[in-house]
Structure formats: structure tokens, C-alpha cells
A and B are shown apart, each in its own frame.
Chain A
Amino acid sequence: MTAAREAIYLPVLLLTVTLLGGLRPGAAVLLTPPSLFSLILAVLLVGVLVQSGAFVPLRVMNGSRPALANLNGGVLVAALLVASAQMFSLLTPDTGLPRVLFSVYFLVLMINTMAASPDRVRVLRSLAVTFGAAFVVKFIVLDALSDPAGGRLTRLLQVLFEGVTLGALTQDVQHPAAGYLAFLVIVMFLVAVALLLSALPSASRAIVVREADVPEA
């Protein structure tokens, strides 16, 4: 990883995810900080990234690096944690039954991924699918079901779902820009995660031979 990527590009990208992920466009623009539960999910996600080798904290923070480089590494880890929390906050519906279901879904998924211990590529793919699916459900399906200006079929489905879920399914109608913004944030986060310092490929690992192991001629 170049110094610029570690010290500038990645922290700035992750902080931008934090900023844009908290932005709720509407009549009054709101900035929402990540919820407490999303912080827990973020810790699990970073754990998954470390376990899979998608991110190796020891490569950005260790005793052999200068203090300034370690500071850059620390800032990167903190930015990754906050951006991850913001991602979960962004993709979790704001109220009702969907909020509970999404929270449980993310929690189980993170624990399951940790238990499966997949490699870097599989974790990145899994993350893209997880966030993509959550995006579709929150910003397309739930939004369509909550839109009071929808057609007859939508209104019929709304009545049906509200009856079944005792009104706990519908969400506040979002600004049309919210979905596009969320899509951009997801892409930025996935790019940032893909650019993180991963484990060294096996071919480039150093082979250390101790003198005692060398057979005498």
C-alpha cells in the first residue's frame, strides 16, 4: 500500500462514506449519526475483514513502523469502524418491524460469516451481496410499499401488509434522491474495503531460514 493510499485516499473515502451515509435528504436535510447497535455490527464486520485477511491491522500499525505511520494506521482503522457503522445505519430501516428484522439479519449474518471464516475474495463478494440485498429491500421494496402516491396495486398491497403486520411495516416516505445517494455510498464503501491492505499473497511471503536448520555439508 502506498503512503498516499493509507494516509489520504482511504481515510478520506471512508469519512466521506460516514458523511454521506448519514445524510437524509428531504424538506429539512438531516445528518443522522450511526446507532449504537450499528457500532456493534461494525465491530463484527471489522472482525470479519481481519479474520478473512481482507484487512490486516498489523500492516498499518506495528512496532517497526515510525510513529507517524502508526498514527495514519490508527486513523484508518477508526475511519473504517465509523464508516462500517454508518453503512449498517444507512441500510437499516428507520422504524417498525423491518428495523428489528434487519438488525437481527445483519447480526446473524456477521456471526455466521465469522464462523464460516471465508477468504478475502469470498468476504468481499458476500459483503456486496449483503449490502446490495439490503439496499433493494429498503430503498426499492419498502419504499414502494410505503409510498401513498402509488397505484391501486400498491395501495392494495399496503392495506394487506398493514393488516398482517398491524401497521408495523410501512416506513416514512423517503426523498427521491435518498436511494441514489445510498447506492453511491455503498459503492464507495465497497471500493474502500477492496483497497484495504490485505494479507500478503503466499508467493511474496519471506522465507526465513535459521542457521541451525541448515544441514552441515
Chain B
Amino acid sequence: MNETVVRAAGLGITIVYAALIAWLFVRQPATFAEVTGGLTSAVGAYRIDQQAFDDGMRYFRSDQFSEARAAFERADPARRDALTQFYIGYAFYRQGWGRFYSDDRLYREGLEAVNRAIALAPEGRLVVEEPGQEIRTADELKAELERGLVVEPSDFNPARVIRPRR
């Protein structure tokens, strides 16, 4: 083979490989699905599993939050879809919400999910137009979760027990 072709091919291969390694070090994917999902989303070819997402929404509306999260995780194994991550966070919020106290562990996981959703959304803005849904933006959900994680004077207000779950 012509030496110039070999050198040009070598340069191309090396640059692509080095870029892939740099991407892996920056993004730190934890699973192979995250690697492939990240690469396909980089070229705009990533798609969620719509059937699993619809299942997740059905469970979510019927207050089956663990089932909903399992379906959402199946729909978006690479964690590259902002809407799915939003609903994972929302499911954590609703499950962790309590009239007297909130579950900090679930709220923290919800906060991680909503932060991922914000990071994935164009310009960090995510609006969900869903009829009957109280929280419609990722910013609102994030604020709710953060409020639940801090102890403030209003937590001791007896009227708190009659506040609605959003």
C-alpha cells in the first residue's frame, strides 16, 4: 500500500481513537449502554425505547413509582434523554414525598436525575406540557427536591401537613 495512504489513515485512526479516549475520561460512562448511548447521541442517532417510556408513564400516573422508574431506566439506558430523566426525578420526588417528612435518600437520587435532565435539555430549559401535572419544568422539580433536603423554619409549621403533593 502507498506509504502516504498508510500515514494518512494512521493519523485519522489515531485522532479518532484519542478523541474517543478523551470523551470517555470526561464523561465517565459507568456502563456499556452509556458508552454506546453517548456516542449515538453525539451523532444525533440516539432514540429511547418508546414502548418502555409509555409503560413508565402509565405506572407513574397510577402512583407505582418503583415500577415507573424501572420502565424509564429501560427506556433510556444510556441516560441521554432529558424528558425520561425528568420523569425519573419526578418519580423519586413523588415516592419520597411525605406529609410529615420527605425521604432524603429518594430526594437525593431525584435531584441527580433532574440535574441530568437539565444538563441534557437544550440550553438547560425543560418544559413538559402534560395535562393535570403539577410540576411542568425541570427547574420547579429541582427547587422542590432541594427544598425537601434542607431543614428550614417552615418545616415546623403545623399547616404543612395539609399541603398538597405536587
A residues lining the B interface (CB < 8 Å): 3-4, 6-8, 11-12, 15, 18-19, 22, 28-31, 33, 66, 68-69, 71-72, 75, 79
**Known contacts being A3-B6, A19-B24, A31-B28, is A68 close to B11, with CB within 8 Å?**
yes
Distance, CA A69 to CA B7, complexed state (A)? 7
Which residue of chain A is the closest to B5 with respect to CB atoms? Answer: A3
Judging by beta carbons under 8 Å apart, are A8 and B9 in contact? yes
Which residue of chain B is the closest to A68 with respect to CB atoms? Answer: B7
Distance, CA A72 to CA B12, complexed state (A)? 10
Q: Chain A nearest CB: distance from B11 CB in Å?
A: 6
Distance, CA A68 to CA B8, complexed state (A)? 7
Judging by beta carbons under 8 Å apart, are B21 and A4 in contact? no
Which residue of chain B is the closest to A9 with respect to CB atoms? Answer: B10
Question: Which of chain B's residues have a CB closer than 8 A to the CB of A31?
Answer: 24-25, 28
Question: Which of chain B's residues have a CB closer than 8 A to the CB of A79?
Answer: 14, 18
Q: Chain A nearest CB: distance from B38 CB in Å?
A: 13
Judging by beta carbons under 8 Å apart, are B30 and A29 in contact? yes
**Known contacts being A22-B25, A31-B25, is A12 close to B13, with CB within 8 Å?**
yes
Does chain A have a CB within 8 A of B3? yes
Judging by beta carbons under 8 Å apart, are A72 and B11 in contact? yes
Q: Give the interface SS of chain B, mostly helix, strand, loop or mixed.
A: helix
Does chain A have a CB within 8 A of B133? no
Which residue of chain A is the closest to B1 with respect to CB atoms? Answer: A4
Does chain A have a CB within 8 A of B157? no
Q: Chain A nearest CB: distance from B3 CB in Å?
A: 5
Judging by beta carbons under 8 Å apart, are B21 and A19 in contact? yes
**Known contacts being A31-B24, A33-B25, is A7 close to B10, with CB within 8 Å?**
yes
Judging by beta carbons under 8 Å apart, are B25 and A7 in contact? no
**Known contacts being A29-B30, A30-B28, is A11 close to B14, with CB within 8 Å?**
yes
Distance, CA A124 to CA B24, complexed state (A)? 31
Q: A7-B11, A11-B17, A12-B13 are in contact. List 10 more A-B contacts (CB 8 A).
A: A3-B7, A7-B10, A8-B9, A11-B10, A15-B17, A18-B21, A68-B4, A68-B7, A72-B7, A75-B14
Most interface-central of B4, B6, B24 (chain A CB within 10 A)? B6
Distance, CA A33 to CA B22, complexed state (A)? 9
